[in-house]
């Protein structure tokens, strides 16, 4: 392939929807295109997005009740966020560096500690929800000195798509059983009684296999189900 065959940003922004779908089919995921178009999505492209609204290229205005992806619930292109990003770039600020402290990290961790209850004195800013969840699991392992090995998760849940976080995810969409974290037991969502006596189900034996625990209702052992 010649470098001149690569698609630049300007060209990318004027690609017709059919070509975008075709590129998705060829280079991203054929099944994603099939799934989305079957349900009537992905048939038009977005021109711009602002606050709670999306404008399609063909001029329709749509109220976006999803409010952004996951926890990023600030709406689209929030003016204060856009202004801060623009200022940061215009002033030539640096993102992060291994050899320099970041005043932004310092201020953010201070603000998080000031806003949350308790006396928070460690902050960890991961790249993703999956990394945050795996960090929480690591913290729990470490807190218990590695002596506790059981992790409870609900039968319907989403915690991310990495091997670790994916194995904590319960979804019928997961069609392939990847290896996952050892010692995971599954309880029916919202059924606290199923978790059983204080302390929950007994830990799995060495090797991570399931063990019948002190649960009032059977919980299902799971060996990982990170799909897609
Ligand atoms: C509740 C929850 N946990 C974890 C995740 C995973 O986040 P990420 O895709 O950033 O890894 C998501 C993402 O939507 C989520 O909604």
**Distance between CA 102 and CA 80 in Å, rounded?**
21
Confidence of residue 70 (pLDDT cuts 50, 70, 90): low
pLDDT of residue 69: 67
**Distance between CA 91 and CA 48 in Å, rounded?**
26
Q: Among 68, 70, 128, say which to mutate for ligand 1: greatest number of ligand atoms within 8 Å of CB.
A: 70
Distance from the alpha carbon of residue 129 to the mean position of ligand 1, in angstroms:
4
Instruction: Give the pocket of ligand 1 (CB within 6 Å).
Output: 70, 128-130, 133, 158-160
119-165 confidence digits (pLDDT tens) = 999 999 999 999 999 999 999 999 999 999 999 999 999 999 999 99
Other Cβ atoms less than 10 A from the Cβ of 136: the count is: 15
Ligand 1: atom nearest CA of 127 is 10
**Distance between CA 123 and CA 110 in Å, rounded?**
9
CB-neighbour burial class of residue 227 (10 A; exposed 0-12, middle 13-18, buried 19+): middle
Of all protein residues, whose CA lies closest to atom 16 belonging to ligand 1? 70
**Distance between CA 37 and CA 21 in Å, rounded?**
9
State the virtual CA torsion across 37, 40, 42, 47 in degrees, nearest 10: 160
pLDDT of residue 219: 59
Ligand 1: atom nearest CA of 130 is 11
153-199 confidence digits (pLDDT tens) = 999 999 999 999 999 998 776 678 889 999 999 989 988 788 875 55
């Amino acid at each position: 392939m010649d470098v001149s065959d690569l698609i630049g940003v300007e060209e990318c922004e004027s690609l017709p929807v059919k070509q975008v779908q075709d590129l998705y089919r060829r280079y991203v995921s054929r099944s994603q295109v099939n799934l989305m178009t079957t349900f009537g999505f992905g048939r038009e492209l977005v021109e711009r997005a602002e606050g709670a609204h999306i404008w399609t290229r063909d001029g329709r205005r749509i109220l976006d009740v999803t409010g952004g992806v996951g926890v990023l619930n600030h709406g689209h292109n929030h003016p204060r966020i856009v202004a801060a990003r623009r200022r940061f770039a215009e002033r030539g600020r640096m993102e992060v560096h291994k050899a320099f402290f970041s005043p932004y990290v310092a201020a953010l961790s201070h603000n998080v500690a000031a806003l949350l209850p308790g006396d928070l004195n460690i902050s960890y800013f991961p790249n993703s929800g999956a990394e945050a969840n795996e960090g929480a699991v690591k913290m729990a392992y470490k807190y218990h000195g590695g002596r506790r090995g059981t992790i409870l998760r609900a039968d319907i849940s989403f915690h991310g798509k990495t091997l670790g976080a994916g194995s904590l995810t319960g979804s019928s969409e997961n069609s392939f059983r990847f290896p996952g974290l050892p010692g995971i037991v599954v309880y029916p969502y919202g059924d606290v009684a199923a978790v059983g006596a204080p302390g929950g189900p007994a830990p799995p034996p060495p090797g991570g296999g399931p063990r019948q625990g002190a649960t009032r209702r059977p919980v299902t052992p799971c060996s990982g189900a990170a799909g897609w």
